Amino acid sequence: MAEFTMELSDEQKEVRDWLHGFAADVIRPAAAEWDEREETPWPVIQEAAKVGIYSLDFYAQQYFDPTGLGIPMAMEELFWGDAGIALSIVGTGLAAVGVLANGTEEQIGTWIPQMYGDANDVKVAAFCSSEPDAGSDVASMRTRAVYDEAKDEWVLSGTKTWATNGGIANVHVVVAVVDPDLGSKGHASFIVPPGTQGLSQGQKFKKHGIRASHTAEVVLDNVRVPGSCLLGGKEKLDARLARAREKARKGGERVKNAAMATFEASRPAVGAMAVGTARAAYEVALEYAQTREQFGRPIIDNQGVAFQLADMRTSIDAARLLVWRASWMAINGKPFTAAEGSMSKLFASETAKKVTAQAVQILGGNGYTREYPVERMHRDSAIYTIFEGTSEIQRLVIARTLAGMPIR
């Protein structure tokens, strides 16, 4: 088990600086254009693939960093560059986590490489869980998966929404109901291979922020996938469902479902994204306050501005520490007895909203225009308190964990 430390190793510092350079030199110059276009920035993703950032190897190296800090460090630097473009680069990771968390070794080796493609032919993947009537309430999911034993195929039907890369992905990971009587315990995850008939893109959403990231509905119309596309395999699923039914009869503890396992693993990473956006806005505001003069002196000389900057930096550092703690705990198998993962996501996402709003205020009229990036950062920050569990859901998870109550 790696000791918890706040000091990055020389190797980690090299990776951080490399990522920071890519964010500064490639992502930031393209940020305003792709935000306006509201399109997937394929050229930037390809550049990331060419240098090795958008790749299975890089993702795996960071994911398996024994300190747990590889992923949050990478997320912070990329999202410091721009949240929309960064989400286009890392969005495939959520689907990859879904396979890593629930799949067999063969499935991991088969499907994750196809999610990324290569530098000459980049691909993306999508994780499809939310539905029009089932966002935070995963127990209300309606997408069904029915097993056709004669053909050893699963038939998927339903509509998914808010799917990053939905419809344009090479590989879709879809969470569906296999036993509706078990509620959220009756869910399973499936791979939908490229070119599968019956899968189509529905509505593409025009969003307030992160506009360079593609978000859309995914429609599944009697989509047939081989039995081998059930993550974890049918034997494992049957055993899990049998345990769930037995515990339901006895009134026992709940069994973690596939979607919740994916979100639980990714929440500190979302916190790191928020830290990156908050840090970017803070740095713009700090530089502006040091150079902008009013009444014959820099505005940072005014307590009203200086105290805001002090609070902004303090909150950012506190958020990063919560993210690092949760990430270290996760990689070392420490249970989140106080919902530390949700704590990190909650505090960091709320910090990003507050800090970016303060940055707009410090820049005044300039902060409200698209000539300065804090306007875009403020729009982007709103998503962190919404996706992968709203702030209200995070508070509910934390409260129920502290009270020793089951989390639905």
Q: Catalytic amino acids? A: 388
The secondary structure of 134-176 as a DSSP string is: BSS-GGG---EEEEETTTTEEEEEEEEEEEETTTT-SEEEEEE
| Residues facing residue 134 across a β-bridge | 131
- Cα–Cα distance list, 205 to 165, 172, 277, 324 (Å): 11, 18, 22, 32
Give the helix ranges, DSSP H, for 292-403. 303-331, 340-363, 374-381, 391-402
Alpha-carbon distance of 129 to 143, in angstroms, equals 9
* 3-state SS string for 43-95: HHHHHHHHHCCCCHHHHHHHHCCCCCCHHHHHHHHHHHHCHHHHHHHHCHHHH
Number of H helices, E strands in the chain: 14, 11
Alpha-carbon distance of 232 to 105, in angstroms, equals 9
Helices 28-37 and 374-381: crossing angle in degrees, nearest 10, is: 60
Alpha-carbon distance of 398 to 319, in angstroms, equals 16
| Pairing assessment for the beta strands 125-128 and 171-177 based on DSSP bridges | parallel
Is there a contact between 63 and 100 (Cβ–Cβ < 8 Å)? yes
- Joined together, the tokens standing for residue 41 give 């920035």
